Amino acid sequence: MNVAVFHGSPRKGNTYIATTIFMEELRKSGDVSFCEFFLPEALPEFCTGCQFCLGKTNDNCPHSKYVMPILNEILAADALVIATPHYGACSMSGCLKNLLDHLDFLTLNVAPREEMFNKKAFIISTGSGSVAAIKPIKKYLKNWGVNRVDSLGLRMFAAKWSKMTPGRLDKFESKLQESARRFFIAKKKWPYLSTIVMYHMSKYILKKYVGAGKYPYEYWKEHGYFKKRPF
């Protein structure tokens, strides 16, 4: 299993430790390889909202030299692991949101990739608002068409991983290891209902309101998505 891992903080703190435990357990489960991206180093430029990737092919992005290698790894991977601490202002870290902003063209109503519908993903977050951090990421991945999105939020109630009580450390480590084992063996299922609904909504909107000549419409037409589902 080839896994693309996105570290949503450069600090290598609590979330990094939790992700490392998860990855180590995945390695024990079978033949697993990782391609890791550390943000913001892997994507140092902020999305400017130019929308070039929404109205043209995504290689028109002014930051394509950073985005294209990331996109290629995502498409080649069997699974994604996305990790972020909880940040008070916007739940997920700013550099992770920047990544999702740059990849907005993957959503069903623009230019979805058929490869995404065979992937699974796991989200890891630490902090008192970890559940709030996970929620928008999960929604976004479903809009990419990812087949299964699982997650684990760890409310630590401690500033550092090492400052937790031994009992809580063991509990969290066990949760991460069990989650990794389940993630490794998880099989493809029928798409989420929200994915199916989004597909039909997107098809209707592109036909009625976007129309021929516009990039999303022409992309869907070229790939035959008006006649067949990409999943």
What Å distances lie between residue 24 and 30, 80, 143, 192, CA to CA?
11, 15, 29, 29
> Which of 19, 152, 39, 150 lies closest to 101 in space, CA to CA?
39
User: What DSSP state is assigned to residue 210?
Assistant: I
The 10s digit of each residue's pLDDT in 118-138 is 999 999 999 888 889 999 999
Q: What is the pLDDT of residues 72-109, one digit of tens each?
A: 999 999 999 999 998 876 689 999 999 999 999 999 99
Spatial distance between the Cα atoms of 186 and 177, rounded to a whole number of angstroms: 14
- H helices within 186-226, ranges in order? 193-205, 215-223
- What domains, with CATH codes, occur in the chain? 2-188 (3.40.50.360)
Q: What is the largest CA-CA distance in the chain?
A: 61
**Neighbouring residues of 206: CB distance < 8 A, sequence distance ≥ 6:** 109, 216, 217, 220, 226
Which pTM value belongs to this model?
A: 0.94
Tell me: the pLDDT tens digits for 7-46?
A: 999 989 999 999 999 999 999 999 999 999 999 999 999 9
Helix (H, G, I), strand (E, B) or coil at 99: helix
CB 137 within 8 A of CB 92: yes
